[in-house]
Structure 1
Amino acid sequence: MKLVKKVKKPDICRMEILDPQLQTYLETHCDPEPEALKKINRDTYLKQLKPNMLSGHYQGRLLSMLSKMVQPKLVLEIGTFTGYATICLAEGLTEGGKVHTIEVNREQEDTLRNNFELADVQDRIELYIGDAQDVLFGLSENIYDLAFIDADKKSNLTYFELIIDKIRPGGLIIIDNVLWKGKVYGDANDTDTQLFRKLNDTIAVNTQVEKLILPVRDGVLVIRKK
């Protein structure tokens, strides 16, 4: 009798869509994770209910590099969690620059402020606690050089539409999780997957911007405003 080898299907429950060995290789061939971020990474996995929401080493270095390339004066972040990505984005700020970051969960405030002090970026970060849409309406006077969207996924398209006019020409919008565990290009048809497909499809035909999806972790959409 001929034995048929079963092919293991990818685990769509994990955030990384890449092969774990490739992910490890990438992390060992980029800049090392700063010590403060190592501690935040470790503490997040020890103390938070959903630690996989953390950007992590490789994606963090990507955010840092993009920020350093843009050299922003003002950064907008929607969804702070434990502040890992916030600190990475702050690495590229010009002299006197600020990251305006919005976190809905008030229970995270003490953790965030402690983490910002640990990384010595507390003077470069303006933390807002509250509903992102409410906070955004109060920031109408600001024009941002870079924005990172990594909050409640059902509102991604709404956030994009709310901030596109707040981004300067040549500025970037970065949206996380756009490959949605690989489900957007598969047969899945649940509500969340449909929302991500709508987001990606809408931005793909938007003539105000240039766009590129990078297969980093769960998919990172990099958008440049023309």
Structure 2
Amino acid sequence: MVSPAIALAFIPFVVSLLIRYRHYFLLFYRAVLVRWLRDYLTGITKEERAFQYIMTHAIPGDPLHILETFDQWSYHCEYLCNLGPQKAKILERLIYEKAPLTVLELGTYCGYATILMAQSLPLGARLYSVEMNPCKAAVAEKVIRLAGFDDDTVELIIGSSEEVIPLLKEKHGLFQADFVFMDHWKRCYLRDLQLLEAHDLLPKGATILADNIICPGAPHFLQYVKACGKYKWRIHRTSLEYFRGIRDGMAQITYTGLP
């Protein structure tokens, strides 16, 4: 048995861990434990619960109000790994600055970033969004249409990015993407960037914005971008969506077409 003296000696250490990593414990509680409990009690996914909230509280046809309602849900009800308001400002500013006519989004999730980009696009632009999970894609489809964007503006493609990217030209008519937003599995960032290169889908000057490059991180992607000589890059320092105490960042890279 552990003596009381030894047990007491560990208390300051445990308390210090709890204080230092309190944001991560809270994230685990909100993102995992609460979700498991409510999934069990309601029989539907948290994304479907969020959509029910959107239907009840958001104004149809008002993209900004729908995004604000998503934020309210994520702050006060259940955690969703949407883009969140802090990162949304970076993405929105880049869309306005670059004014891309063709946008490729990898990882639709619930359609938060999709709506943000769609309402910022210039007239005549088209957004192609890829989501591999059919259940999440079904929620995103309803949210995107609720915001007022039809298939002429936003085409939702269901499938894994590895399978979809090689077919973008032939099957979906996307010959080159002026702007790419990556917010899917972080381990796929490097693979998919190289797929975009291999299939000549990046024109010179194309912008790629990759989310969550610090938390949970995409080290191989960043290493490649910095070392290959094909890109100019910068890091936007942010916090994790809806958690100001957890550091994160977005990588903005520009394709130079070299070497």
C-alpha distance 170-92 of structure 1, shift in aligned 2 (>3 A):
farther
Q: What is aligned with 2:122?
A: 94
Aligned-partner Cα distance in 1 for 2:225–2:99: 24
**Aligned structure 1 segments of 4 or more residues deviating by more than 2 angstroms:** 6-15, 39-48
Aligned-partner Cα distance in 2 for 1:73–1:132: 21
TM-fit CA distance, 1:35: 0.8
Q: What is aligned with 1:156?
A: 189
State the SS of the aligned residue for 2:225. helix
Contact map agreement 1:70 1:171 (CA 8 A) in 2: no
C-alpha distance 151-44 of structure 1, shift in aligned 2 (>3 A):
same
Aligned-partner Cα distance in 2 for 1:47–1:106: 24
TM-fit CA distance, 1:47: 8.6
Q: What is aligned with 2:57?
A: none
Contact map agreement 1:214 1:221 (CA 8 A) in 2: yes
State the SS of the aligned residue for 1:167. coil
C-alpha distance 132-146 of structure 1, shift in aligned 2 (>3 A):
same
Aligned-partner Cα distance in 2 for 1:212–1:143: 23
Contact map agreement 1:60 1:84 (CA 8 A) in 2: no
Contact map agreement 1:101 1:128 (CA 8 A) in 2: yes
Higher helix share: 2
Is 2:65 the counterpart of 1:35? yes
Contact map agreement 2:108 2:137 (CA 8 A) in 1: no
1:168 is aligned, of 191, 203, 215, to 203
State the SS of the aligned residue for 1:157. helix
Aligned-partner Cα distance in 2 for 1:210–1:135: 26
Is 2:159 the counterpart of 1:130? yes
Report the structure number with the largest CA radius of gyration. 2
Gapped regions of structure 1 (runs ≥ 5): 1-5, 16-32, 182-192
Contact map agreement 2:128 2:154 (CA 8 A) in 1: yes
Is 2:232 the counterpart of 1:219? no
* Equivalent residues, number: 191
Gapped regions of structure 2 (runs ≥ 5): 1-15, 29-62, 240-247
Q: What is aligned with 2:43?
A: none
Aligned-partner Cα distance in 2 for 1:223–1:83: 23
State the SS of the aligned residue for 1:117. helix
State the SS of the aligned residue for 1:166. coil
Aligned-partner Cα distance in 2 for 1:159–1:46: 34
Aligned-partner Cα distance in 2 for 1:111–1:52: 13
1:206 is aligned, of 218, 228, 235, to 228
- The letter of the residue matching 1:179 is I
- The letter of the residue matching 2:233 is K
Aligned-partner Cα distance in 1 for 2:165–2:128: 10
C-alpha distance 145-36 of structure 1, shift in aligned 2 (>3 A):
same
* Larger displacement relative to structure 2 (162-171 or 70-79): 162-171
2:212 is aligned, of 148, 173, 177, to 177
TM-fit CA distance, 1:119: 1.8
Q: Which has the higher contact order (CA 8 A, sep 6+)?
A: 1
Taking only the aligned residue pairs, the percentage that are identical comes to 24
Aligned-partner Cα distance in 1 for 2:128–2:166: 13
So what's the TM-score if we normalise by structure 2? 0.66
Superposition RMSD in Å: 2.7
